Structure 1
Amino acid sequence: MDYIMGIDVGTSNVKAVLFDEKGTEIQVASRVSETINDGGNNEEQDMTIVWEKVKACITELMDSKVVAAEDIKGIGVTGQGEGCWLIDKEGKPLQNAILWCDGRAVAEVHKITEEHPEIGKLYHRTTGTPPLLGNQMMLLRWMKSHRKDVLDKGYKILFCKDWIRYNLTGKIGTEITDSFTSLIDAQTGKIAEDLMKELDIFEYRDYLPDPVNSDEVVGTILNSVAEETGLAKGTPVVAGALDTSATAIGLGAIHEKDACVILGTTCASEMVMRKEDCDFGAENSRYEKHPIKELYVELQPTLNGTPNIDWMLQNISNTKDFTEIDKMVESVPVGCGGVVYHPYISVAGERAPFYHPYARASFFGISQVTTREQLIRAVYEGLSLSIRDCLQNVDKHATLYLAGGGAKSPVWAQMIADVMGMKVMIPAGKELGAKGVALIAGVKLGIYRSYEEAVEKACVFKQTYEPNLKRTEKYDLLYELFRQVRIHNQQIWDYRHQMNKKIQAIKED
């Protein structure tokens, strides 16, 4: 039997996964990936450590001897998107990677959205994505303003998976789904040079590799990497894809109108579309490239996903047992006694389905009779309502595929089905991003004749949730309150930010 390796370099964990041609996860190796935070809104990772952890995962798989090295026919790499992974001419990191969830470029975003809105609109219309804090284009502009001495020593700016693929193959490059997050002219498919000129960063055009398609074989494993990890020399590596795009493939979302949600650090909501149906530059829209050439994705990747649950476990719940948590959530009726939670807990605010760098999480409607259980359920409902906020244009007759760590909870999956009024399907297996790039490699290398065959053979679903339409009717009402509160809060968030600056400026004796 043929096998494929998928590597998934997430923000919190890095993984190497072996799949057989039926899509079965044969073995998974994982390492925790540390994020460096300075106590403010900066989020970074040590690029060398990230590569060492990926290498450790590969070595663990190969040392297990579960499959022979020569039976692994190819490798695909996926990972967190956006950010700035800067290398010099020797291929060495010049600084820590600045991550997608970093908030330092707030002044740059403000300048082109508030002070020069015509440039902000050009940015959105050109790339299909509004100017956001973690966009590589915005971080390049920030680097020029604040770290030009470091930037000028650079050679190429990569994305996370490209850094790992470079270490595997020695080949520098990137591919279309990652580049489409902010660097590509959506109409031409090429680097948005005119936009770079407007942003006064065209001098760094050569730092941005011209992207290739996701399925292109870009190189083979370096002999040194093969010897160190146990991989076979000459194993081909495909370009891979952005994690959200790869997960769409891994879930089987390969047709127009397919929709999926990844319940992870970011709750990424996706709808598959054709280019002619994309309205590049429309308010609150964000488009990305699907790994299949003719398809695109309307993507709404919130900054705020499961970290809300982590915070709830640490500060509200009296248990960290998710079986007990599910029981508590299920014991509370829809609406939590009038308590609504807005899940904007990131230090960088929120980016989908709206942008606000100072958005913050909050409970609305607490009274003296509010219980711990109601607060816990409100966190889950708030996240679910945020997903609905992101999928306002979804076809309710379609199926919603659900993936990520949060999909393990049957109570949350049923809640999402009820909130959305849609059938929800949960895939077998957990490593959907790694599976996605494995299937991309499998199609390219001839293990599958087409993506349709790959999905038919490799995508299996273990659970289906039908919506309770009476609950959906209740959530229709709750969603309107959720949305109105978050709209009215935008001025409050701005006021809070200015107040905090004034408080910090007052020096006590």
Structure 2
Amino acid sequence: MIIGVDVGTSVTKASLLGRDGSALVTHSKRSALHRPGGGRVEQDLDEVVDSVVHVVQRVVAAAAQAGETVEALALTGQGDGLWLRDEAGHSVGNALSWLDARAATALQEWAESGVQQEVYAHTGAGMFPGSAGPLLAHLAEHEPDRLERAAVAGYCVDAIVQRFTGEITVDASDASLPFLDVPRRAYSDEALRACGLAEHRRLLAEPAPRGQLFALGGKAAAELGLPAGLPVSAGPFDLPACAFGSGVGAVGDASLVIGTTLGCQVLRDDVHIEPGGEPAGMWLATPLADRYLRVMPAMVGTANLDWVLSTVGHDVGDLESLLAGSERGAGGVSALSFLSTSGERAPFVDAKARGQFTGLSLETTRADMVRAMCEAVAYAARHNLETAGLTGQVAACGGGARSAEWSQIFADVLGRPLHVPHEEGVGARGAAMTAWDSLGEPVDRQQWAAARRTVEPDPAAAAFYERGYREYLASIDRARPHWGGATA
């Protein structure tokens, strides 16, 4: 069996996974986000490492009790942000989360000067405030000493790998945003120069080759309760891991991650960067040869739901009854779901993007408010998936997919079946699938993909939401000029 670990933004999970894709046991631990003000969102690397040790120890104990042998440790986790470390793997200041907004001004200047468009032309990466490019530029201007003290500017997964194995590396999926020429799996010097970061090229670890495995170090092995030298697989990061772990396999298939991020991605067999196109989303390298993911990761997914539920005095336990208590169309109330402080990054980039409710009246109920936001998130999912090139099946995962009512809204808005895996930890599944490939023991992908429930769209609801979707697109066009600093 393999222990798959998913180091999320708010929760770290570890699962003991068998070759049929099922989890024998799963343990989780909450992670802390630190918000010191000024749009800054940070994490303490030591706290994150401790959360991984905590959950893995418990899974190791369960494996021993069940008499199961652990073949490898497979890691995945949150992408983007900036995790600066020294040669020994110690953090140089707190890690900057992908939710961080301190570089919004720098990114806006790049949008106005054409830098953002130039980088997109070279790598197909649409940057946002919490991506490595603007964060590095912000530190270079305001805290250059941190960059001088750092040996590597990486991401969450490779930070854990360095602690556990001593290796300085990065998975190509993480490295894809924003400096990687994805088909070549090599950094673009032109993109680095455009951002004024050529002198900091030394901080970027070379992407690991496909199938690379690392060896668990003695100190980490003792902490985790695993044998020294155990194979460690690093990546892909959580979005592509969720795609493969949820059953995406054919070109045109999509993965919809209804989590903190609304992760929308479609498997492609080519990388096509549209000249002059909106610099949004990203192209990701994957563990598979000649397969890429076109990703449109909207900034906010289930956090929209959490916010509106809190605002109307409810919690997630009330979601099913609230959605059932409001008819489709939410009593004439509609919403835009751009609630992130950092604005939006897909399918357009605008640091000033903001959410809204329209159509409110004295007759509007709390249930209407909740349904309107859930419908808005579903519209955003369709907008992103269609932009990414959806032509096949859609697999859904994440906390939002647990809701039967919300899953039905997604299926109706998309106008196609929604396939939801029975195993919720699809990120860890995707990491484990990659690890077995690297061990030369690939799993039966069709068997894994079959273990899911299907939510069929209701034809009448799909027709209703088709009209609603067109109005949703029009409402974005009407709203953008009022956000300030928006670009067409």
| Length-normalised TM-score, structure 1 | 0.91
RMSD: 2.0
Between the aligned partners of 1:121 and 1:278, the Cα distance in structure 2 is: 11
Q: Deviations over 1:102-159 (max 9, x none)?
A: 1111121112211x11x22210011111232112122111110111012111111111
Q: Percent identity between the aligned chains? A: 28
Q: Which residue of 279, 282, 285 corresponds with 1:286?
A: 282
User: Which of 20, 23, 26 is matched with 1:22 structurally?
Assistant: 20
Distance 1:48 1:105 in 2: 24
Per the alignment, do residues 352 and 495 of structure 1 end up closer, same or farther by CA in structure 2, a change over 3 Å counting? Answer: closer
Aligned to 1:499: none
TM-score (norm 2): 0.95
The separation in 1 between residues aligned to 2:96 and 2:168, in whole angstroms, is 19
Q: Which residue of 1 aligns with 2:425?
A: 431
Distance 1:70 1:468, change over 3 A: closer
The equivalences for 1:90-489 within 5 A come to 90-114=88-112, 116-117=113-114, 119-217=115-213, 219-275=214-270, 279=274, 282-283=277-278, 284=280, 286-317=282-313, 319-320=314-315, 322=317, 324-393=318-387, 398-448=392-442, 453-489=443-479
Runs (5+) with no aligned partner, structure 2: none
Structure 1 range deviating more: 399-408 or 179-188:
179-188
Aligned amino acid, residue 17 of structure 1:
S
2:370 and 2:448 map into 1 onto residues whose CA distance is: 36
Instruction: Give the whole-Å Cα distance in 1 for the aligned partners of 2:290 and 2:485.
Output: 45
CA contact (8 A) 2:265 2:388 kept: no
Question: Helix, strand or coil: the match of 2:16?
Answer: strand
1:52 corresponds in structure 2 to 50
Q: Distance in 1 between matches of 2:259 and 2:30?
A: 15
CA contact (8 A) 1:126 1:187 kept: no
Letter matched to residue 106 of structure 2: E
| More moved, 42-51 vs 195-204 | 195-204
How far did residue 65 of structure 1 move? Answer: 4.3
What is the distance in 2 between the residues matched to 1:4 and 1:280?
43
DSSP 3-state at the match of 1:173: coil
Question: Residue 12 of structure 1 contacts residue 32 of structure 1 at CA under 8 Å; is this kept in 2?
Answer: yes
Listed as ranges, the gaps of 5+ residues in structure 1 are: 497-509
Shift of 1:333: 1.8
8 Å CA contact 1:400–1:424 kept in 2: the answer is: yes
Deviation at 1:459, TM superposition (A): 3.4
What is the rounded CA distance, in whole Å, between the counterparts of 2:388 and 2:167 in structure 1? 39
Contact 1:62 1:69 (8 Å CA) reproduced? no
Q: For 1:439 and 1:92, locate their aligned partners in 2 and report how far apart those are by CA, in whole Å.
A: 29
In structure 2, relative to structure 1, the CA distance for the partners of 1:216 and 1:78 (3 Å cut) is same
For residues 221 and 411 of structure 2, the distance between their equivalents in structure 1, rounded to whole angstroms, comes to 45
Distance in 1, Cα, partners of 2:194 & 2:395: 39
Q: CA deviation at 1:292?
A: 1.3
Give the conservation status (yes or no) of the 8 Å contact 1:396–1:420.
no
Deviation at 1:194, TM superposition (A): 2.0
| CA distance in structure 1 between the aligned counterparts of 2:42 and 2:288, rounded to whole angstroms | 31
Secondary structure of 2:446's match?
A: helix
Task: Give the whole-Å Cα distance in 2 for the aligned partners of 1:280 and 1:240.
Answer: 30
Change (3 A) 1:193 1:67: farther
Instruction: Verify the 8 A CA contact 2:281 2:297 in the aligned structure 1.
Output: no
Worse-superposed segment, 221-230 or 454-463: 454-463
What is the distance in 1 between the residues matched to 2:308 and 2:462? 25
1:384-437 deviation digits (Å, cap 9, x = unpaired): 111111122477762210101111011111111100101111101110001101
Judge conservation of contact 1:214–1:240 (CA < 8 Å) in 2: no
Distance in 2 (alpha carbons) for counterparts of 1:375 and 1:331: 11
Q: How does 1:487-502 map to 2 (within 5 A)?
A: 487-494=477-484
SS of 1:126's partner is helix
What is the identity, as a one-letter code, of the residue corresponding to 1:472?
Answer: A
Rounded to whole Å, the distance in 1 between the matches of 2:231 and 2:36 is 39
Shift in Å, 1:279: 4.1
Please give the alpha-carbon distance, in whole angstroms, between the structure 1 residues aligned to 2:390 and 2:180: 31
Tell me the amino acid that sits aligned with residue 294 of structure 1: D
- Whether the aligned pair in 2 keeps the contact of 1:443 and 1:454 (CA below 8 Å) is no
User: How far did 1:162 drift?
Assistant: 0.4
Secondary structure of 1:398's partner?
A: coil
Q: Deviations over 1:324-345 (max 9, x none)?
A: 4212212322111211111111
What is the CA distance between 1:94 and its match in structure 2? 0.9
Q: Report the CA distance between 1:202 and its aligned residue.
A: 1.0
* CA positional deviation for 1:68: 7.1
**Cα distance in 2, alignment partners of residues 355 and 175 from structure 1:** 25
Residues 1:351 and 1:424: Cα distance change in structure 2 (over 3 Å): same
Conserved 8 A contact 1:304-1:345: yes
Q: Which residue is 1:39 aligned to? A: 37
SS of equivalent residue, structure 1 residue 241: coil
Number of the residue aligned with 2:80: 82
Distance 1:136 1:320 in 2: 34
Quick check: 255-264 or 56-65, which moved more?
56-65
